[in-house]
Copies of this chain bind each other. A is one copy, B any other.
């Protein structure tokens, strides 16, 4: 069945798969020390246009969030995140499992505001009993957010300004980074991102890889003994090549950006279809995830014909449904969708 349920319903992008096939019988060293991990890191470094970035590979998104947060925080610190942030809501407490509180602040359309970050920090240090509270030791945002929205450059600058003022790192969850950067509304590049935060990751799983996330520490600030800490978290692959080879492919000939752009163009067409057909949007999203309010009867009908993802209840007779495009979505898929709406 054709699926708009998510951006991880197909396998790998053919070029990523081909690279796995081509390199399959090569003899390579383990644990991320192979030449593909090295060259992938080098290519990402180049794409970031920054010699000081430190690139590491991990397997999945929750794992990456968990490890970055746990290894960059001191034990008495927590991480500030929006209430709808992935780490706040949908990671089964993976951050708390490592001993750190997720300090939630309000979100609007998935985004947090620099002013709220600032007031959280300010109020904390002005509180007479702050030593009895969890120290806010990092800010976490997603780009794009869980609702498909993206931050403007000026918004990121404001948030990062506050972080620097309070000397805490800004971490950007880029599980869907490609779709954000490829959006028409995006006013930043990958190169910009390096200057706008302390650490971010380039999501592979949802942008054409079978698995894999490339973590970018923006100024040689990877935690000491990071490999050991990855192993300690159970996250080190013996065949680290699996990650290196895929990211090497994704960062050859700008594949990562091209396939992201493809999804965005199709998302734009999908939006037009929904508009044409008179559907209401739950949120205005400029990326590959669209959130549509469906009448429950229509929902039943549609979901018998394509895979979609139920997001949340809207009211007693309506439901918010996510329709996602990805590198694997085709014009034919959209035609079919149009036919059944």
Contacts and interface: CB of A to CB of B under 8 A. Distances in A.
Interface of A: 1-3, 5-6, 8-12, 14, 17, 20-21, 23-31, 59-67, 70-71, 74-76, 78, 89-94, 96-102, 104, 126-129, 131-135, 205-206, 210-211, 224-225, 227-229, 231-239, 241-242, 307, 310, 312-313, 328
B235 A63 contact: yes
B24 A12 contact: yes
State the copy count for this chain: 4
A242 B212 CA distance: 12
B59 A59 contact: yes
Contacts of A24: 10-12, 14, 17
Most chain B CB inside 10 Å of its own CB: which residue of A92, A104, A135, A235: A92
A67 B234 contact: yes
A205 to B, nearest CB: 5
Contacts of A61: 238
A70 B63 contact: no
Nearest to A11: B24
B225 A237 contact: no
A5 to B, nearest CB: 8
A206 B104 CA distance: 31
Contacts of A241: 11
A70 B75 contact: yes
Nearest to A23: B11
A165 B71 CA distance: 26
Most chain B CB inside 10 Å of its own CB: which residue of A29, A61, A97: A97
Contact of A30 (B8, B17, B127, B310): B8
Nearest to A8: B238
A234 B92 CA distance: 9
A255 to B, nearest CB: 16
A231 B94 contact: yes
22 contacts: A3-B27, A6-B238, A8-B238, A8-B239, A9-B27, A9-B29, A11-B24, A14-B24, A31-B132, A59-B59, A59-B237, A64-B234, A74-B225, A78-B93, A91-B232, A92-B231, A93-B99, A94-B232, A96-B99, A97-B232, A131-B227, A132-B236
A88 to B, nearest CB: 9
Given A234-B67, A234-B235, A237-B59, A133 B27 contact: no
